[in-house]
Chain A
Amino acid sequence: MLANYGYKDASGDFFITIDTDICNGCGDCVSACPADIFEVMDEDPNDPLRDEPVAVVSADKKKKLKYECNPCKPASERPPLPCVEACKAGAISHSW
């Protein structure tokens, strides 16, 4: 499942997509993110009949992604994002 966390407002689209079919719930993204956006849940909240751990974007962060992710996204030269790089499976992507 492609889980799109985030929002769209007048200033743009701010979504982090986690591919839950690829994510194995290892939690590398949790420690890599300086803003503590991710957490690992024992069960996918959007797929309650599957009992596998999965990474999600915390409920209290998903409405602030534009600001929370800002330090990792300088306007000029953009280094690889720590969360995207940390995820060996390649399950995380950003829309902006």
Chain B
Amino acid sequence: MAEEKKQEFWRWTESNWKNPDIDWKDAKFVTSGIDVGSVSSQAVIMTDGEIFAYGNMRTGSDSPDSARNALKFAMEATDMPEDRMDYCVGTGYGRVNVPFADRTITEIACHARGANFIYGPEVRTVLDIGGQDIKAIQCDEKGKVTNFIMNDKCAAGTGRGMEVFSDLLGVPINYVGDRSFDVKEEPQPVSSTCVVYAKSEATSLLRKGWSTEEVLAAYCSAMADRIYSLVERVGVEPEFAVTGGLAKNRGVMDRLMPMVGLKRMKTKWDTQIAGGVGAALFGYALCQKGKGRKK
């Protein structure tokens, strides 16, 4: 029997990282934030409010396992024993399934707080594009939420939709952004907002003789339209920051930002860890307030 050979175009790179400048032995409080999303899981370990290590990987079918694996992946980069952890906060869609979390906090609060940390306190509008939801958040200089909206009923405009398209068109997900600009002129966006219908629309466009790049461009701009309609509802205030995996896709980002009319902030950090960073920071704040774990 012929061996089945299948390339997973949607597969993005998992990574872990440790801050070489921090020694965990000096830390007063070590807190962790575990963000179990629908597509990816992140574990962020912070020492006294500074990022010490993180791991970012794909969520499997089992949320408790994903949480454990992400934390293990982050710990791999360090030489710290796991029981040094003072407090652990679970967040994200699968937050109730983090068995070792001391408490859970919604991803809305965590993303605002995390964006405030990784982008700086100037951030007022945070757009988080996750695997299966979009959140538009306004926050103050402390990262406290002042207005939010979340769409988690429909997959249109989410990371999952982009995975479906990268798989359909056979373009590895990391190249989608660049390839989508490889067109002579910008095509009309696909008209369907639903991922399933957009996929069948794309198939018929391909039959009509559109190139892969043109279909990608049409889908990226449809996603940008869709995302903007949600952002518009909470309103846009500078500075504007984007978190989540889609922030790495310039096909959508470079089409979205002209609609928003602002430049998006830059960061040295992985945009996918914002939720985990926020969760770990809440853990740190709770420890400082004396509400940490009773040992």
Contact = CB atoms under 8 A, between A and B. Distances in A.
A76 interface: no
B230 A46 contact: no
B148 A8 contact: no
A57 B38 CA distance: 22
A2 B285 CA distance: 23
Interface stretch (A9-17, A67-75, A84-92): A9-17
A24 B229 CA distance: 31
A27 B45 CA distance: 38
A47 B149 contact: no
Contacts of A1: 144-148
Given A1-B145, A10-B194, A13-B233, A48 B109 contact: yes
Contact of B147 (A2, A45, A63): A2
A61 to B, nearest CB: 12
Contacts of B106: 45-46, 48
A49 B144 CA distance: 9
A35 interface: no
A64 to B, nearest CB: 9
Contacts of B233: 4, 8, 13, 15
Contacts of A49: 144, 282, 285, 289
A2 B146 contact: yes
B234 interface: yes
A15 B149 CA distance: 9
B149 A48 contact: no
Nearest to B154: A9
A10 B152 contact: no
Contacts of A47: 109, 144-145
Nearest to B230: A8
Interface string B130-151: 0000000000000011111111
Interface in B261-295: 282, 285, 289
Nearest to A63: B153
Shortest Cβ-Cβ A-B pairs, 5 listed: A7-B153, A2-B147, A4-B149, A45-B106, A63-B153
Given A1-B147, A49-B282, A63-B153, 20 more contacts: A1-B144, A1-B145, A1-B146, A3-B148, A4-B147, A4-B150, A4-B233, A4-B234, A7-B153, A7-B154, A8-B229, A9-B154, A13-B233, A46-B145, A46-B148, A47-B109, A47-B144, A48-B109, A48-B282, A63-B152
Interface of B: 105-106, 108-109, 144-154, 193-194, 229-230, 233-234, 282, 285, 289
6 contacts: A1-B144, A8-B229, A9-B154, A10-B193, A47-B109, A63-B153
